[in-house]
Amino acid sequence: MLQRAVLLLLALMPVMSGAQTTSSLAPRVRVETSQGAFVLELDTVRAPLSAENFLRYVRDGYYDGTVFHRVIPNFVVQGGGYDPGLSARKAHAPIPNESGNGLSNRRGSVGLAREDSPHSGSSQFYINLMDNTGLDPLPSRWGYAVFGKVVEGMDVVDRIAHLVTETVANFGEGVPVERPVIQRAWVVETAAPPEAEKSE
């Protein structure tokens, strides 16, 4: 597993070097949604694979037009994999689980969503609405890897968490009736994205 992690890290080196020449070791990503905007700060030191994986999707524009498809009050909001019609977007290969990095699933933290398999995380992410330390790893099992936190706009995340939900086949409960759309996500290297700057 260590060899796989090293190989993946080497594969991501161009992405990492690009991120660190334009931002710090704690790059920020602004996420504009139909419910408002929030800003995430990523920890590329403790969670290098997960943070750079997320940045790759952001820079590719992958998240633009996706929705938060899972909303569970007092637990998490989850998105990053489906369009408004709940059609899945093709993601890159999964990455190794970094849940043993010392970052905890506390309120406002952002983590890499995954299936039951510990190393199945790819594009989907979640934001903790409360302290969910039960998602942290134990000596007997893998946890869910945290790779950053909300530093602005947690009220927007809470707003998303209180949307009316429904049960949808293949998704279960917690699917918002009016799905919050990620209109644009970008690395905060300037005060606003180029389109906004030109329109001012």
pLDDT in tens, 4-14: 544 454 445 44
**pLDDT averaged over every residue in the chain:** 89
Report the CATH number of the 24-190 domain: 2.40.100.10
Full DSSP string of 77-131: EEESSB-TT-PBPP--------TTSS----TTEEEE---SSTT---S-EEEESS-
User: Can you give the pLDDT at residue 19?
Assistant: 40
Mean pLDDT across the stretch 56-60? 98
pLDDT per residue as tens digits for the range 122-177: 999 999 999 999 999 999 999 999 999 999 999 999 999 999 999 999 999 999 99
Q: pLDDT per residue over 61-84, tens digit each?
A: 999 999 999 999 999 999 999 999
Categorize the per-residue pLDDT at 195 as very low, low, confident or very high, splitting at 50, 70 and 90: low
The structural domains of the chain, with segments of one domain joined by +, span 24-190
Contact indicator for 165, 159 with CB cutoff of 8 Å: no
Q: Kindly state the DSSP code that residue 140 receives in the 8-state scheme.
A: T
**pTM of the entire structure?**
0.84
Q: Using CA atoms, how far apart are residues 29 and 6, in angstroms rounded to an integer?
A: 25
Backbone angles phi, psi at 163, to 5 degrees: -70, 150
